[in-house]
Structures are given as C-alpha cells and as structure tokens.
C-alpha cells in the first residue's frame, strides 16, 4: 500500500517545516491521543452511547485532518454522523476499518519523524 493513500505526504512535509523541532512531539501527541480515543470508542460502541460516539469521533475527525490523514478523518466523520443521527448500529464495522486505517497512519507518520 502506498503511504500517500493514508497520509497526504506533501502537506505533512509542509507541517513538518512549520513545526520544526516540535514535529516529533506533535506526532507523539497525536498518536497517544488517538490511541486513548480509540480505546474509549470501543467501550462507547459496546455501550451503544450515540452521543458520546459523536463527541469522540468529532474530535478524531478534527485532529486527524490536521495531520493530513484524510481517510482516517473521513471514517471518523462517518462515525460522528451516526452518533449525530442517534444510532450506533453498524458502528462496529466502520470502527474496525478506522482501527486498521489508524495503524497505517501511525506507520506513515513514524516514517516521517
């Protein structure tokens, strides 16, 4: 799989320029933050809490877009939308995709450190 399918590498290079020394910290922060959120999302889906799903998915959607992970952000958007509609039906399936995508994103980002 091509890394650019998961992360827009040109934009990421730009972000690296801006962040300079802080880029590493940013990536570490993003990964740690996302891992925590994915963990809580698993519990939320198990509990079928649509409102909480919306909030966590919204947060992931925003932060992943900022690190140029468009596909990851799109999957989060779909989960946010479900939460907004008040349902968690079918969320587990998208959540699985999201976790997989996250793994790829992490790999790509770590390559850039």
Partner 1 sequence: MNSQESPADVQESDEVLRILIADDNDSDRLILQTIVRKEGHTVYTACDGQEAIDIFKEQSPDLILLDALMPNVDGFEAARTIRDLAGENLVPIIFLTSLKDAASLADCLDSGGHDFLSKPYNRIILKAKIQAFARMRKLHETVQAQRDEIVMHHDRLLHEQEVAKKVFDNIAHPGCIDAPNIKHLLSPMAVFNGDLVLASRKPNGGMYVFLGDFTGHGLPAAIGAMPVSEIFYGMALKGFSMQDILREINKKLKRILPVGVFCCACMADLSFRKETVEYWIGGLPDIFIYRKANHSVEQFPSFNLPLGVLSNDKFNTETKVAPMAHGDRLYMWSDGILEAGNEAEEMFGEDGVKQVFANNDDVDSVFGELLEAVEVHTGKMEQDDDYTVVEVRQVTEESLGEYFGERGMSGGMVGGPIDWAISYELRPKTLRDFNPLPVITHLLMEVPGLRPHSGKIYTILAELYSNALEHGVLGLDSALKGSPTGFAQYYSERTQKLHTLDMGQVKFHLDHKPTDVGGELSIVVEDTGPGFDWKKKLDDAEHKTEGYCGRGLPLIATMCKSVQYLGNGNQVEVIFEWEADH
Name the residues that contact partner 1, by CB under 8 A: 11, 15, 18-20, 22, 25-26, 29-30, 33, 55, 58-59, 61-63, 65-68
> 48 Cβ partners below 8 Å, 6+ apart?
88
Q: What CA dihedral angle connects 75, 53, 37 and 103, to 10 degrees?
A: -20
Q: How far is the CB of 86 from partner 1 (least distance, A)?
A: 16
- Tell me whether residue 25 or residue 92 sits nearer to partner 1 (CB atom): 25
All residues at 6 or more sequence positions from 3 whose CB lies less than 8 Å from its CB, including other chains: 9, 104, 107, 108, 111
Q: Quick one: tokens of 28?
A: 């570490």
Q: Angle of helix 70-85 relative to helix 50-66, nearest 10 degrees?
A: 160
Q: Which is nearer to partner 1, 59 or 71 (CB)?
A: 59
CB-nearer residue toward partner 1: 48 or 66: 66
CB of 31 to partner 1, least distance (A): 9
Name the minimum Å distance from CB 2 to partner 1: 21
Q: Which is nearer to partner 1, 65 or 97 (CB)?
A: 65
């Amino acid at each position: 799989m091509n890394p650019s399918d998961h992360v827009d590498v040109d934009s990421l290079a730009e972000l690296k320029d801006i962040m300079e020394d802080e880029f590493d910290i940013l990536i570490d922060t993003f990964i740690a933050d996302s891992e925590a959120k994915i963990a809580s999302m698993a519990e939320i889906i198990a509990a079928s809490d649509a409102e909480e799903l919306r909030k966590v998915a919204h947060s992931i959607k925003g932060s992943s877009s900022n690190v140029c992970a468009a596909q990851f952000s799109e999957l989060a958007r779909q989960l946010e939308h479900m939460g907004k509609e008040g349902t968690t039906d079918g969320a587990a399936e998208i959540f699985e995709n999201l976790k997989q995508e996250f793994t790829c994103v992490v790999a790509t980002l770590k390559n850039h450190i």
